[in-house]
Every structure is written in C-alpha cells, then in structure tokens.
Amino acid sequence: MFKFKIKRLYLFVLQTFLPLFVMTFFICLFIVLMQFLWRYIDDLVGKGLDVAVIAELFFYAALTMVPLALPLAILLASLMAFGNLGEHFELTAMKSAGVSLIKVMSPLIIFLAFVSVGAFFFQNNVLPKAQVKMWSLLFSMRQKSPELDIPEGAFYDQITGYNLYVKQKDRETGMLHGMMIYDVSNGYGYANIIVADSGKLSMTTDRKHLVLQLFSGESFEDLKDNSTPQARRNAGMLYRRESFKTKEILIPFDATFNRMGDESMSNQYIGKDYTELRHTIDSLTVKADSIGAGLADKLRDEPICGVAQRKIIYKDKKRYTEPIPPVVLPKAIDVDSIINSMSVNDKRNVIEMAKNKAVRIKQEMQFKGYALEDNLAVMRRHEIELQKKFTLSFACLIFFFIGAPLGAIIRKGGLGVPIVISVFLFIVYYIIDNTGYKLARDGHWAVWEGIWLSSEVLLPLGIFLTYKAVNDSAVFNPDAYLNFFKRITGQQQVRHIQMKDIVMNDVAADVAIAKLEQLKANCEKFLSRYRKRQNYLAYWTIGYDKDAIRGLSQELESTVEYLENSTVVLVINKLMDFPILRQLYTYNPVGNKKVGIPVACLLPIGLLGYIIGSMHQKNLKRDINLVVKVCDELITLIKENGVVKVDDNN
C-alpha cells in the first residue's frame, strides 16, 4: 500500500511559514476591519443597535475584507519566513547542501496554489452572499432612527419635523426644564412654537411614537391660510395663543430596527457568482447592441439636404425599412454659386438653419444615448466583478514570489523590516489597483486592462526578484546599478587598482616602455582618423570604427594588467588615471549606408540620436587623449626615476 510522506525539509519550511501566515492574516484582517469601522462609524453610533446585530455586520464585513487582507498576509508571512531563514543562516545551510531556493519554496508554492484555488471559490461562492448581507444590514442601520439623547443648551433636530431646546436636564428623574419646541411638521411657514417650564419624554410600548408631556407653558400657532387672496390679505390677523398647565403631544418616531430584505442586493453585481455575471453580461451586451443599432438606424434615416435616404414599408403587419435609390441629376449642381447668389441675410439664415438642425440632431442623439451609457456602465461593473474573481488568486501567487525571494535577499526576520517593505509594496499595489479600477469603471480603458493592471506591473517584479534570489545576485548593490547607468549614459567609469602583496613576475622597464609607446601610437593614429566632429549624415552612415575601438580597449587593458605587477606605489597610482574605454552602441549605431540614410531621415528621432551619439564620441576622444597623456607620464616616470628594473636579457 502506497504511503505518502512529506520530506523533513518540506515539513520544516511549512512549519516555519504556516504559523506566520495565520498570524499575519488575522492581523491584516483586523487592520482593514478597523478601516471599515472608521469609514462607517457615523452610521452605527447613537442608533441603539443590539450587540448581536453589530457583531453580525462585523462578521460579514470581515468576509468582504478577505480579498484585501489575504495578499498582504502572504507577502508579509513570506518575507518574515524567508527573512528568518536567511538571518539564522538556515537558508545558507540548505544552499550549501545543494538545495536550491526553488526547491525550498516548492512546498509553499503547492500550498499557495491550493490557497489561490480556494480564493477563487471564495470570491465566487462566499463573497457575493457576504456582500449582500453586509450591505443590506448597513442600509438598514442607516435608515434606523437615532437614539434620543437631547443635549443641554442646544437645539436637537433628530426628531423629524421637530426642533427641541432644553435648558437643563435632571438625570435622576428624567425631567427636562426650560423647554422650547418648534413644530415644523407642516412646513417652516406654518411653525408652531411651544414653551414649557418643564416636561418629560417617553416612548410608547410599540416604540413607534414619542409621548411628550409638558407642564406650565404656552403655545403659539400661526393660522394663516395662503389658499385664497383674501386669506393672504388677512394672514397677519390669523394667530392663536394657548396657555396650559398640562399638555401631551404624540410624535411619530419609529425606533425599531427594520431589517431590509436581501432581494434587492442579490440582483446587484455584488451578489452574483460567475455564471450569473456571465449571463447578465451577455444580456446587457445584446441590449446595448440593440440600442446602438436603433440609434444608427435613426441617424441613417435622417434626410440629407431634404432628401430621404430610406422609406418605411409594412409587410405582413411588420415594419421594414429599405434604402431609396439615389437621385440622379443630369448635371451637377454648383452649390457655391447658389450660396453666393443669395443676399447676406439669406446666407445667414441658411447657415443658422443648418447649424440649428445639426445641433438638434446631436442633442437628440445624445439624449437617446444616455440609456446606452447607463447600460454600458452597468455592464462594466459586472465585468469588473467577473474579473475580480480571478485577480485575487493571481495576486496571492505574485505576492509570494515577491515576498519569499525578497526575504531571502535581505535576510531580515521579525516584524521590523518586513512590515515596512510589505506596507510599502502593498500601498503601491493598492494605488495601482485602484487607479486601474477607476479607469475601467469610467470606461477609459478596457475592463480587463484596468483590473489586471496591478498584476501586470507587479509580475515582472516577482520574476526579477525570484531570478536574483535563485542566482544569489546583488539586488541592493548600488554600485552595480550605478555602473550600469554609466554604461547606458556614457559617463566615465573610475578604474580601481590595488597593489599586490606577492608579485610572481617583475615588470621590465624596456618591455613596459615598449607597450606604452605602442599604445600611445595606436591612440594617436585613431585620433588622427577622427580629428573633426562627424556631420549628421556621416554619423548615421559611417560612424566610428568599432573594431579599432575594441582593439584599443584590449591593448589598454593588457598594458594595465602587465604594469599591475609593479611593486612601486607611484606606478600603481598612475595606472588608476587610465580611463576605461567602453564599447557603446552610439559610437556606430548603423554603420551601413543603405540603412543609415533612411534612419537619418527619421526626424526628430534621428537628430536626437545624433546629438547623444556626438556627445559620446566626444567623450571617447577625450578618454583616448587621456590615455596618451598617461602613457607619456608613465614613460617619463620609468625613464627618469628608474622605478622598475631593466630586463637583464636585453
């Protein structure tokens, strides 16, 4: 019977990664959940909601936040896990034993492949139901009336149709003193004002009405009626004042929590799975094509210069349109002569009529096109939700292939450096993802381009870091990038030479002088060939001789390599004055007359290339002149000071 057994190495890697993954996932989920709380806290506070309802909302909100928390958790966990392995030299021990980084990562790749598949099914089956429940609860909470908490010394306007002012409150008895009530339930033009010495506020048993019991007060009511002219003339006379010892007012106030059904949210794009989204997109596509075809037919049916283009016929009680044959004139009409024969006013009228007709048709088509725009906007939202069911799974894999190699490179575990790097990368991912989402939502980009933008940007980064980590390349070595930049831009590089502790072959003075004189002669020969600056056409068709430049560079390096064996500090220091002759493409970009002439005609690209190439050629001649100067100085140093011995055989 076959028994499956995990290798001890794989088990060790899984035991290192899984606890960190679980911990970082819940930490990230808690952080994004707090962000959700601060965003919607105004809809929750002061509503008197039950703890069970709030807990249910947070549960569904936590499920909807999984697509944000999961990639960040994978990135942070992989950074910490491989950072710990590198910091404790465990990764070094594995590599020294012949285990490659890809083999170390293989159990986690398999594990995260299952996580990615599970993320798709979560996005497709669980997330739509969670989003429907969450938004239904949130909208229900928004519609619930706030709990009564009337402040002292300020007007309270949370009771619909009433503004209450309380001078002082008795916390023990619940009595309100110095009350002023503005009843604007019939409109601000018919406000009733009630002033009372004290009062008490209570709720009916069904929690749908407020009972306001007032003591020792007066009410002022404006009885004006604006329905007739006579009533408006007597408006200032219609007024009533009432004094009371006890008065009760019943105010409608629904304090119950009415939960909204899930049906309306289930029909939205957030509540649909892959099959339902695909079906809706197909239906919306057919509808959009139908609306667009109708608008196109409407435009084609518009008369041109008063001549109809199509005619309507009815056949078997159905409406059809067919094109009208064009009118054939025996002689072409000179429209310009007709216009010129008109008076100035007639010309103005004709142009104004044509302009007004064009504007009218344009506005009519734009108005009819609003339905098409709305249909396309809804279709884009469905397509976005459809693409998101795949982007989460892909993002999980990308973040692992960023975090694991990066952790192996930086070799820092714990919560310090990994958190900083993870937060920075996730912010970049979130900004790019949100930008792509808005471009896709507004129709500026295709939906797949906008939604997959973040993955397209981060995928090359993951490939690059994985390649560098597998090959133990120096990713964070600034000198390597600086030298690469200098090679691209043509900047001069500095030569570094150190004196050797042990010299096997001494430098002979006559041999050294011969090499230096030969190098000097070849450099002067090259400079004599290119005394003047090449013109534009010569640069693109001839350029500099690459073989000659390569030969000078090799001869220079050979001379430096021979003189490096010197035991004299002055020689070693002077050797560092030799420049490095680079083999730049811009010295001779084409070198072929048949190809160079067409390239030279590509302005302004050809002109820009000529300016850059001329600058690089100038720098090359400067370096070669410097080689000649250093050769002279070394020859003088050898002859006058005798810093090296002459070969006895000569």
How far apart are the C-alpha atoms of 206 and 556, rounded to whole Å? 99
pLDDT digits (tens, 9 = 90+) for 437-452: 999 999 899 999 999 9
pLDDT digits (tens, 9 = 90+) for 524-561: 999 999 988 888 888 888 889 888 999 999 999 999 88
Asked if the model's pLDDT at residue 106 lies above 90, the reply is yes
CB neighbour class for 123 (10 Å; exposed up to 12, middle 13-18, buried from 19)? buried
Q: Is 132 within a domain?
A: yes
Same domain assignment for residues 37 and 160: no
Same domain assignment for residues 135 and 159: no
Same domain assignment for residues 19 and 129: yes
Same domain assignment for residues 215 and 82: no
Same domain assignment for residues 66 and 209: no
Same domain assignment for residues 494 and 429: no
Helix (H, G, I), strand (E, B) or coil at 160: coil
CA-wise closest residue to 91 among 177, 190, 9, 165: 9
* CB contact at 8 A, 72 and 426: yes
426-433, long-range: CB < 8 A, 24+ apart: 426/71, 426/72, 426/75, 429/71, 429/395, 429/399, 429/454, 429/458, 432/457, 432/458
**pLDDT number for residue 600:** 80
**164: phi > 0 → left, psi -120 to 50 → alpha, else beta; which?**
beta
CA 56-58-60 angle, to 5 degrees, is 70
**pLDDT number for residue 255:** 63
Q: Is 581 within a domain?
A: yes
Domain boundary among 226, 252, 278: 252
Same domain assignment for residues 551 and 517: yes
Using a pLDDT cut of 90, give the percent of the chain over it: 30
Q: Is 549 within a domain?
A: yes
Q: Is 531 within a domain?
A: yes
Q: Which of 192-196, 233-237, 525-529 has the lowest mean pLDDT?
A: 233-237
Q: Where are the alpha helices (DSSP H) in 144-246?
A: 229-233
Same domain assignment for residues 431 and 509: no
Which of 150-154, 186-190, 477-481, 601-605 has the largest mean confidence? 150-154
Domain that holds residue 56: 8-143+389-438+446-470
pLDDT digits (tens, 9 = 90+) for 347-380: 888 889 888 888 888 888 888 778 788 888 899 9
Domain boundary among 252, 271, 292: 252
How far apart are the C-alpha atoms of 415 and 399, rounded to whole Å? 17
Same domain assignment for residues 120 and 193: no
Domain boundary among 203, 220, 252: 252
The pTM score is 0.63
Q: Is 352 within a domain?
A: no
Chain center to CA of 527: 52
Domain count for the chain, please give it. Answer: 3
Same domain assignment for residues 508 and 433: no
Q: Is 134 within a domain?
A: yes
Q: Which of 21-30, 263-272, 292-301 has the lowest mean pLDDT?
A: 292-301
The secondary structure element, H or E, covering residue 525 is: helix 509-529
Q: Is 522 within a domain?
A: yes
Chain center to CA of 611: 36
Mean of pLDDT values over 276-297? 87
Strand partners, 539: none
* CB contact at 8 A, 624 and 581: yes
371-377, long-range: CB < 8 A, 24+ apart: 371/291, 372/288, 372/291, 372/292, 372/295, 375/284, 375/287, 375/288, 375/291, 376/288, 376/443, 377/441, 377/443
Same domain assignment for residues 136 and 203: no
The secondary structure element, H or E, covering residue 38 is: helix 8-39
**pLDDT number for residue 592:** 73
How far apart are the C-alpha atoms of 564 and 249, rounded to whole Å? 106
Q: Is 297 within a domain?
A: no
Confidence at 646, pLDDT banded by 50, 70, 90: very low
How far apart are the C-alpha atoms of 325 and 289, rounded to whole Å? 27
Same domain assignment for residues 121 and 179: no
